[in-house]
Chain A
């Protein structure tokens, strides 16, 4: 009866790094800041569109009355959204500052 020889062990590979979960650690703060500044940029864009149409309405070169009302509605909604996000962020920050050992 023949016993088969034991084969050599395969080498152990280099340990793979586990990616940190999204939204945790130091990178999370940067992501939120980017999202917030992106949102502010978009808000600025909507506000300037609305302002341009307001100038057109005042000078009489506005072709569609509803265009201005829609632009101002969008700008107002975007402002409300941005303020809501900011308030939530400040609330969360204050909650953390209130923590005691």
Chain B
């Protein structure tokens, strides 16, 4: 890892953005999980990105969880509804998640571009003096 460091560092970035994509995917897939008001709603996942312990790159420090309260929706037709006709939905905003999805995707692509460019640069260095 020590000789082609930049490639490894970009790899840690790609891994972190992949985990962010996973979190967004988890949030979107559970966006409409209705539960009864006595239970807690699905909590939104937030990826906590931080500098790597060895100072080379980035790592996921953990997952923070959003509101357990969710939002109360009046839906008396729902079999899970309580006596007042309310159910609990997760407090996840679709447009916010789509924005995060674009950021995660672009970040992933940016890190892979770094890998590609670094590879080209190192290969150019290895071609030094080959012309003769």
Contacts and interface: CB of A to CB of B under 8 A. Distances in A.
Nearest to B115: A70
Interface string B92-132: 00000000000000000000100100010011001000000
A66 B15 contact: yes
A70 B119 CA distance: 10
Nearest to B22: A63
Interface stretch (B1-9, B58-66, B77-85): B1-9
A42 B122 CA distance: 17
A89 to B, nearest CB: 13
A54 interface: no
Given A77-B122, A77-B123, A67 B11 contact: yes
B18 interface: yes
Given A64-B15, A64-B18, A67-B15, A73 B115 contact: yes
B7 A66 contact: no
Contacts of B7: 70, 73-74, 77
A80 interface: yes
A25 B7 CA distance: 38
A81 B18 contact: no
A78 B123 contact: no
Contacts of A67: 11, 15
Nearest to B127: A84
B23 interface: no
A42 B11 contact: no
A67 B108 CA distance: 13
Given A64-B18, A77-B4, 12 more contacts: A66-B15, A66-B115, A69-B115, A70-B7, A74-B1, A74-B4, A77-B7, A77-B119, A77-B122, A77-B123, A80-B123, A80-B126
Interface of A: 42, 64, 66-67, 69-70, 73-74, 77-78, 80-81, 84
